[in-house]
Structure formats: C-alpha cells, structure tokens
Amino acid sequence: MSKVIIIGAGGVGNVVAKKCAQNDSVFTEVLIATRTVSKADKIVAEIHQHLPDSKTQFSTASVDADNVPALVELFNAFKPELVINVALPYQDLTIMDACLETGVHYLDTANYEPLDVAKFEYSWQWAYRQRFEEAGLMALLGCGFDPGATNIFTAHHAKHHFSEIHYLDIIDCNNGDHGKAFATNFNPEINIREITANGRYYENGEWIETKPLEISQDIYYPKVATRKSFVLYHEELESLVLNFPTIKRARFWMTFGENYIKHLNVLEGIGMTSIVPIDFRGLKVAPIEFLKAVLPAPESLAENYTGQTCIGVQAKGIGKDGQEKVHFVYNVCDHAETYKEVQAQGVSYTTGVPAMIGAALMLQGVWKKVGVHNVEEFDPDPFIAEMNKWGLKVDELAGIELVKA
C-alpha cells in the first residue's frame, strides 16, 4: 500500500521497522536509512528471522541526516510517501527541509533541539506550518509515547471525560532493571541533557522554572510500584496548554532511582555532562558526546531487562456531568515481553509502536491535514484502538488521585 523511509536504526528504529513488518497490509516497502548501515542491516536480518511471513519488502541505505542534499537524493531515488524520523532531534529540521523539497510527508517522535543549546521547544518546527500547507504536505510532530501517546491520552480525557481540564499531570515510571551500574534507556546525550536542565511547569498562564529535580513526590503507578518522581520539563506540555486552554496547571513527572541520580551527580560534577566542546588532542569534543560513546547503547540493554514501565496522564477538572472529577489513563509495558516480541526493551517499544501507528493513520487517510500538527489535534479514538491492537494496552482508573497538588 505505501512506501516509507525510516531514518534511524537505534532502539526505536528497530521497533518501528518490526512493527511495520507486522502491519504489512499498510507498509509494503520500507527503507531503513542511517549513518551506520550495518545497524539497519542487522534489523532487516532479524525481521527475516523472527517475522518470516511478513510481506513488507525491506532495504537499507547509508545517509547523513545532517545533509539536506544527501537526504533529497535518497528521497528522490526511493520515492516514499512518508518519512518516519527517529534520528537525533538535532536533525529534525534538515529532514523536514528535505521532505519539503521532495514532496514527502513527515513524522517524528521528539521535537527539534539545537546541538549547542540544551533547549527543546516546538517553535522551530511550528515555523514550518505555512511551508507545509503550501506544499500540500503533513508533518506530525512528537508521535512517540511522551510526547505522543500522552497527548492522545489528554485528548481522550477531553473528548470522553471532561468538559474542562484544569490540572494535568503526566507521569512516567520505568521500574525496570537492566543490570548495569549506569545506563540510559534512550540516547544518552538527549536523556542526560533533558534531566540536567532546569525543570519547568505551567501554572496560571505562566511557565515556572525549577532547579533540576527540585520538586518530587511519591506516586503510585498502577500495577507497578510506588516510586519517587521528579518534575522536569517535557515538550508535550508546550502544545497541550495551547490546544487545551482550560488547563490551569500542567506538570511532567519522571522516576529516577537513587543510584542513577548519584552517578549523574558525579558525572555532572566532573564536567562529563557538559555540551560545551573542549580541545582534546587537537579535536573539539563535547564531554557528553564522549560519555555517550562509553555508556552502553540503549538497544544493548534489551536482552536481560526485567520489570515494567507505567506511563499515563492524570486529569482533574469538570466532568461531562458538570461535577468535579479526576481520571487517569495509562499503559503498562513489560521489558521482557517486548524483548520476546521485537528484541527491544520497553522504553524503545513504547516510543516505536506509536510512531508506527501514527504513520499508518496518516497513510490510510484517517489522520489527514496539511500543515504541521501535534497529535492531540486529531481524533484520539482510532489511535487508542490501534494501541490496543499493536501491543500497548490502554487502561483507565477513575476517581483516584495518584498525583497530589
């Protein structure tokens, strides 16, 4: 039915490709493009091994996603209908530029972040709205889990449970164990930049800045555990408070264990998390890039990972019946089960599956609107139905306040 290019062959790219192979009635031809083509070749070999009945045809190519002419050449040669970008956030704009030049629709899982500034926001990509509209193309931003499914959960709250959402809390728990002294569950460079930056939350029309990991509370994650959780800034807050203007406060919470924080504090204290390049044997190297090179690759954690993730959205406000209400929508994902299915750990799985779902909805015309859009702008019902179909069961909990004021 459709030809697609996946850019990126890390943990998330692996999941996206294998879920596309499972959904072969929609994805007929897939090209996996990455700087190190051997990583893409490995994914294709595993698809042939574990999904031998898939009718999806796979190929691979090497590409520098920082290079617009190289991307344009690749897109023109393969002629995809859609590009699924699961490369680094630094590369979002070059890939969007190539899509505009070649007439290809676009989807990503994380918003643009400059390489030299630890700051991520949608303004750079929202600035492409008019260009995508004029080209008759659609760009879907942040279609992973958080952002992505969390935006969909918020839209579900608004459509089915609330006439007004007043307080929104997005909570993310990884209660897993990978057996390593210290490792990150997705790209170390992005993960560490995100955690060591100042936190931020929205309240009464203003953004309140906090010190890194300054605000915390114990939160019960259904079916998983009670874990200490910390406020940090996450990109979906930016679009959600615009698209749901009744929100008075919006926060994002994530769990970190004491051991993780201890290692991170030491690394930060000796300068290893810095994004400012230093001179090293005649080369300009950012310490965080060196740290990324010595830490375990996120995809390498999958085989022995145990435990679960729980990610969800709590909303408080005025229900459809006019009464005050609290409601929670969430997913629990098991690391060992995702490894059995697609040879990936749960954090990669929860990001990759929504990317495939969003791409399928675009290709089938279920979600179709030219311009640049965030996922909560579309009907959440078909997305949640697909989550339940493709391995991310959605649960709901009514009347219990998990996150306190």
Give me the residue label for tokens 């909560």.
376
pLDDT of residue 130: 98
Q: What is the pLDDT of residue 261?
A: 81
- In this predicted model, which residue has the larger pLDDT, 187 or 71? 71
Q: Is residue 320 exposed (0-12), middle (13-18) or buried (19+ Cβ within 10 Å)?
A: exposed
Percent pLDDT > 70 in the chain is 99
Q: Supply the pLDDT for residue 126.
A: 98
Average of per-residue pLDDT values in the chain = 94
Peptide bond into 354 cis (omega under 30): no
pLDDT in tens, 263-290: 888 888 888 888 888 898 888 888 888 8
pLDDT at 306: 95
114-138: pLDDT as tens digits: 876 666 789 999 999 999 999 999 9
353: closest CA among 364, 344, 340?
A: 344
Tens of pLDDT, residues 283-337: 888 888 888 888 888 888 888 899 999 999 999 999 999 999 999 999 999 999 9
The pLDDT score that the predictor gives to residue 1 is 66
pLDDT-derived band at 154 (thresholds 50, 70, 90) equals very high
CA distances to 152, 263, 265, 274, 277 from 270, in Å: 40, 11, 9, 9, 14
Whole-prediction pTM: 0.94
Distances in Å between the alpha carbon of 330 and those of 19, 31, 70, 179, 253? 21, 32, 40, 26, 14
pLDDT value for 118: 63
List of domains in the chain:
2-141 (3.40.50.720), 149-343+393-398 (3.30.360.10)
Cβ distance 237 to 202 under 8 Å? yes
Residue 300 CB: number of other CB atoms within 10 A?
14
Tell me the percentage of the chain whose pLDDT exceeds 90.
80
Query: For residue 282, what pLDDT is reported?
Result: 86
**pLDDT, position 41:** 98
Mean pLDDT of 174-186: 85
pLDDT beyond 80 at 40: yes
pLDDT at 117: 67
Segment 49-55 long-range contacts (CB within 8 Å, at least 24 positions apart):
50/18, 50/342, 50/343, 51/18, 51/21, 51/22, 54/21, 54/22, 54/24, 55/24, 55/28
